[in-house]
Amino acid sequence: MQAQMLAPAAVLVAWSLVMLVWMALTRFPAMKKAQVGFGKSKPGGRGQDLDGVVPDKVQWKSHNYAHLMEQPTLFYAVVVILALVAPSPLAILLAWIYVAIRIVHSIWQATVNIVMVRFLLFIASTIALVALSIMALIATLGAPA
């Protein structure tokens, strides 16, 4: 059951890499068109510096990739904790729910990006993460799960 608990994390890692490639495939041509990029911008520039320079729809993918490097780091830790001490069918289900919602969130943010819907998706995934976190706390503090 440990591998089943880790599978959602592996899928989210793979999805994050898909978003990285999608971001690069849209961002580099937009940068070229805007005549910004390697050797053309000030030293120390960051991705956020492209906001308002390249089209917003291009930047949405970058913003989502950044989001995938934020809250999901907590998910990875919780999944490893649960895989080690208490991989249950409910925890596995919640992990898959979290990953599915994050993938939908990514696609939504990268294509449509209506903030209210994106926020609701974020809240739904956060609820799954909170439940997983509580399960990890219970398991590691020795209380019956």
Whether the pLDDT of residue 115 is over 60: the answer is yes
Print the domain residue range for 88: 2-140
DSSP reduced 3-state for 54: strand
44/109: higher pLDDT: 109
The one-letter code for the residue type at 31 is: M
The number of domains in the chain is 1
Distance CA 10, CA 7 (A): 5
Distance CA 51, CA 82 (A): 39
Is there a domain that residue 36 lies in? yes
For residues 114-132, b (16+ Cβ closer than 10 Å) or e, as one string? eeeebeebbebbeebbebb
Number of DSSP helices (H) and strands (E) in the chain, helices first = 5, 0
Whether the pLDDT of residue 111 is over 90: the answer is yes
Q: Which of 12-16, 73-77, 84-88 has the lowest mean pLDDT?
A: 84-88
pLDDT of amino acid 142: 83
Is there a domain that residue 23 lies in? yes
- 78-109 pLDDT, tens digit per residue, is 999 999 998 999 999 999 999 999 999 999 99
pLDDT of amino acid 1: 78
Whether the pLDDT of residue 45 is over 90: the answer is no
Average pLDDT over residues 51-77: 90
pLDDT of amino acid 27: 87
Average pLDDT over residues 21-48: 75
> What residue has token string 């990268």?
110
What CATH number should be reported for the domain holding residue 85? 1.20.120
Is there a domain that residue 125 lies in? yes
How far, in whole angstroms, is CA 83 from its chain's centroid? 20
30/112: higher pLDDT: 112
Token code pair at residue 63: 């913003």
Is there a domain that residue 48 lies in? yes
Percent of the chain with pLDDT over 90: 73
Distance CA 89, CA 95 (A): 10
DSSP reduced 3-state for 38: coil
Is there a domain that residue 145 lies in? no
Mean pLDDT of the residues in the chain: 90
pLDDT of amino acid 28: 83
Q: Which phi and psi angles does 35 have, rounded to 5°?
A: 60, 45
Is there a domain that residue 40 lies in? yes
